């Protein structure tokens, strides 16, 4: 028991016990661990203490002269941030179970040794954090519908950088440096953040994601750092924040540039000090969180315009990952489309579905302002309304003529061979079209004589 770290050290503890001898014994032990103890012997006194003070833990006897302490749990007298341990006499297991159902974190059967308190307090702390994580479960999903992170040639540099980061993470394990991911909307920043967490040493710990753009300025600090009851008008109960919920794991702040400057300052303090202070609290809470931040526009420009703190930018920029837009990823568009199609088709229980050459040409011709997210939506829509096993993407318009044949960058020489004469004919046709059928101008563009061009137009072919 002595080897267990005292969670009560530096904590405020409410001790509700009517047996004065036991109360003094427990209070002395808690004080010896560094806790500040408030002793009460009745439910009425406990209510008054809870109304005016914050407590990290409460050690509560169930049966008291003025009633049953279960009522305190039923009426929500304890803060969400207060770990409650109930004490029950021998044979009171049924009451202890009811107390747990009402929100208590653990129970101790009398008589017990004070050395058992650290274990009970630790169980309370874990239960409290787990409850907040469950509330945030929807934010812990890494994969958007129909999408997954796909590394191609264009992301080889990002992948190499990630491997270096993961290697460093495995060595450090704790105190991991923050990561900044920049890229246009829809390039896969959230997916990359989730991939980094899953592949790292904290994969079994929570991954908490928050879209900072969706947080009103007046609530952002409360959501990130938590608050005590009464910290502001609507703070009827205490609540831990996202930094605490992500303790031991990773916190992903998407659209971090939308946070107000004062909130940015508190984020910087949390990263540098590995501690946060809830709104309305007087004490700090130690945390170990890997912060991953993302922005859809370069933060350096926002620093220059005064919209983002320079000190926070430099702290985040220690590990910087830049995701290119889809329009700059070349043939990776097709590889990514095939990858997405496989996942979406499997989700819709469809088999033997592929993209036709014309469909691939149409995909390559798009600018994709919505990037990978837009591509996934287009693929799913096409799959749902497809009339056959090969997706044509006709809704994207006609593919460029050059993209349909040998000039398509995905084209490869077929094993059965092909006609070079057809290539020459395509070039002549395109040159004539671009010069309004001016034979002399077309011949100059092709680097041949007018006689050669006339010969070909009359049906002449090159000799093997």
Specify which residues 40 forms β-bridges with.
Answer: 16
Mean pLDDT for all residues in the chain: 84
Query: By percentage, how much of the chain surpasses pLDDT 90?
Result: 41
Nearest-Å Rg of the Cα atoms of the chain is 33
DSSP state letters, 207-223 = EEEEEGGGS-HHHHHHH
pLDDT tens sequence across 377-400: 999 999 988 888 899 999 888 765
pLDDT: is 25 or 1 the higher one? 25
- State residue 162's pLDDT score: 92
Domains 12-134 and 156-323 belong to one CATH topology: yes
pLDDT: is 90 or 183 the higher one? 183
Positive or negative CA dihedral for 425, 427, 428, 433? positive
DSSP state letters, 18-52 = S-HHHHHHHHHHHHHTT-EEEEE-SHHHHHHHHHH
- State residue 412's pLDDT score: 59
pLDDT band at 165 (very low <50, low <70, confident <90, very high): very high
Mean pLDDT, residues 3-7 taken together: 55
CA-CA distance, 313 to 24, in Å (whole number)? 52
CATH topology of domain 12-134: Rossmann fold (3.40.50)
CA-CA distance, 322 to 285, in Å (whole number)? 33
Q: Which helix (H) or strand (E) holds 362?
A: helix 357-365
CA-CA distance, 123 to 460, in Å (whole number)? 88
pLDDT greater than 50 at residue 144: no
Q: What is the tally of helices (H) and strands (E) in the chain?
A: 18, 16
pLDDT band at 274 (very low <50, low <70, confident <90, very high): very high
Structure tokens at 1: 């028991």
Structure tokens at 375: 């591509």
pLDDT greater than 90 at residue 292: yes
The class that CATH gives domain 327-404 is mainly alpha
The domain segmentation of the chain, as residue ranges, is 12-134, 156-323, 327-404, 420-457
pLDDT tens sequence across 101-137: 888 888 888 888 888 888 888 888 777 766 665 555 4
The class that CATH gives domain 156-323 is alpha beta
CATH topology of domain 420-457: Arc Repressor Mutant, subunit A (1.10.10)
């Amino acid at each position: 028991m002595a080897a267990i770290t005292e969670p009560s050290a530096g904590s405020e503890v409410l001790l509700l016990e009517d047996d004065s001898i036991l109360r003094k014994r427990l209070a002395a032990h808690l004080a010896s661990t560094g806790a500040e103890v408030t002793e009460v012997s009745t439910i009425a006194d406990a209510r008054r203490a809870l109304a005016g003070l914050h407590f990290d833990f409460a050690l509560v006897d169930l049966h008291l002269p003025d009633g049953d302490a279960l009522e305190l749990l039923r009426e929500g007298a304890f803060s969400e941030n207060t770990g409650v341990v109930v004490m029950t006499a021998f044979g009171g297991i049924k009451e202890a179970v009811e107390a747990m159902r009402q929100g208590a974190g653990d129970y101790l059967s009398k008589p017990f040794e004070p050395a058992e308190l650290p274990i009970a307090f630790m169980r309370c702390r874990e239960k409290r954090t787990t409850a907040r994580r469950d509330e945030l479960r929807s934010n812990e999903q890494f994969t958007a519908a129909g999408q997954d992170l796909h590394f191609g040639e264009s992301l080889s540099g990002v992948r190499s950088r990630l491997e270096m980061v993961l290697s460093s993470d495995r060595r450090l394990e704790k105190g991991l440096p923050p990561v900044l991911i920049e890229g246009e909307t829809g390039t896969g920043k959230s997916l990359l953040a989730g991939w980094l967490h899953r592949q790292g040493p904290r994969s079994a710990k929570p991954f908490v994601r928050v879209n900072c753009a969706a947080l009103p300025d007046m609530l952002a600090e409360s959501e990130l750092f938590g608050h005590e009851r009464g910290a502001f008008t609507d703070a009827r109960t205490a609540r831990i924040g996202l930094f605490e919920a992500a303790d031991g794991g990773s916190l992903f702040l998407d659209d971090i540039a939308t946070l107000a400057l004062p909130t940015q300052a508190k984020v910087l303090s949390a990263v540098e000090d590995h501690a946060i202070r809830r709104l309305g609290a007087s004490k700090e809470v130690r945390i170990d969180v890997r912060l991953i931040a993302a922005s859809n526009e370069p933060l350096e420009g926002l620093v220059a315009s005064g919209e983002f703190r320079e000190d926070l930018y430099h702290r985040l920029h220690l590990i910087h990952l830049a995701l290119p837009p889809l329009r700059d990823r070349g043939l990776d568009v097709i590889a990514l489309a095939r990858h997405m199609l496989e996942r979406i088709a499997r989700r819709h229980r469809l088999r033997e579905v592929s993209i036709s050459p014309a469909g691939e040409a149409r995909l390559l011709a798009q600018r994709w302002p919505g990037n990978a997210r837009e591509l996934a939506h287009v693929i799913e829509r096409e799959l749902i309304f497809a009339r056959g096993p090969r997706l044509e993407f006709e809704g994207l318009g006609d593919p460029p003529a050059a993209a349909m044949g040998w000039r398509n960058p995905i084209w490869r020489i077929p094993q059965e061979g092909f006609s070079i004469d057809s290539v020459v004919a395509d070039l002549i046709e395109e040159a004539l079209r671009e010069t309004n059928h001016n034979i002399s101008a077309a011949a100059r563009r092709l680097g041949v004589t007018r006689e050669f061009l006339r010969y070909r137009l009359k049906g002449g072919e090159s000799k093997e």
